[in-house]
Amino acid sequence: MNTELKLIRKSRLGNRKSQESLYLKYKTKWFMICLRYAIDKSQAEDMLQDSLVNIFSKIKQYDSSRGNFSQWSYRIVVNSCLICLRKWEKLTFDENHQNFNEKIDNFTNVYDVLGAEELIKLVQSLPTGYRLIFNMYVLEGYKHREIAELLDINIGTSKSQLAKAKKILRSKIELLFQTDIIK
């Protein structure tokens, strides 16, 4: 049995050292997920705390035959972030579906120029609905159907929110280049 599975088995029994070891292994990735959904570091820390409670209270449900622990825990973190956002604010989504097929070319080239911290700040600046769907679709790999089910919206809303989020991000990035902030 590998080390991670031993830690999971012991964590299921309430062993704090094993839980701490899992936390130390994944804390950075879990926190980065929270940062993408939060509007600031403080909110992300609160989301992480809720995520930890959920991960360790549900760890008995983890089944290694159905996938790896990291992916299982990342899903819990995303769901915890969504729960926090629903608790803290009323989630609103622009229902205007016009032009959601608008293409945004060369969007991925941004990663070559901007650093991770700059990209996170740009994503954090998006309105909540746009930020959620951008994160879920682009960064977490959810399909529009899954997003629609999780957020109780229709698929067209998910698609249009993603297109609008990309458009806003593109405008903000272009503005950064125009004002010579990034060179």
What is the per-residue pLDDT across 73-107, written as a single tens digit (0 to 9) for each? 999 999 999 999 888 876 666 555 454 444 434 44
Q: State the residue for tokens 């969504």.
A: 82
CA triple 30-124-29, angle to 5 deg: 15
The average pLDDT across 151-174 equals 91
To the nearest 10 degrees (0 to 180), the angle between helices 41-58 and 16-37 is 140
Q: Where are the domains of the chain?
A: 3-88, 107-178
DSSP state, 110? G
Percent of the chain with pLDDT over 70: 83
Predicted TM-score of the model (pTM): 0.68
pLDDT at 90: 63
Residue type at 111 in one-letter notation: Y
Per CATH, 3-88 and 107-178 having the same topology is answered: no
pLDDT tens readout for residues 26-44: 999 999 999 989 988 999 9
* C-alpha pair distances (Å), 153 with each of 46, 129, 133, 146, 157: 26, 11, 11, 10, 7
Residue 46 contacts by C-beta under 8 Å, 6 or more apart in sequence? 38, 84
Q: Is 1.10.40.30 the CATH number for 3-88?
A: no
Mean confidence (pLDDT) of the chain: 85
**Domain over 107-178 is classified CATH 3.40.50.970:** no
Helix (H) or strand (E) holding 13: none
pLDDT at 111: 52
| Structure tokens belonging to residue 132 | 């959620």
Q: Say whether pLDDT at 127 is over 80.
A: yes
Higher pLDDT, 98 or 63: 63
Q: Where are the alpha helices (DSSP H) in the chain?
A: 3-12, 16-37, 41-58, 69-88, 116-124, 128-134, 144-151, 155-178
| pLDDT attached to residue 139 | 86
Taking only the tens place, the pLDDT of each residue in 11-28 is: 999 999 999 999 999 999
Is residue 68 a contact partner of residue 55, using CB atoms and an 8 Å limit? no
**Given this model, what pLDDT does residue 11 score?**
94
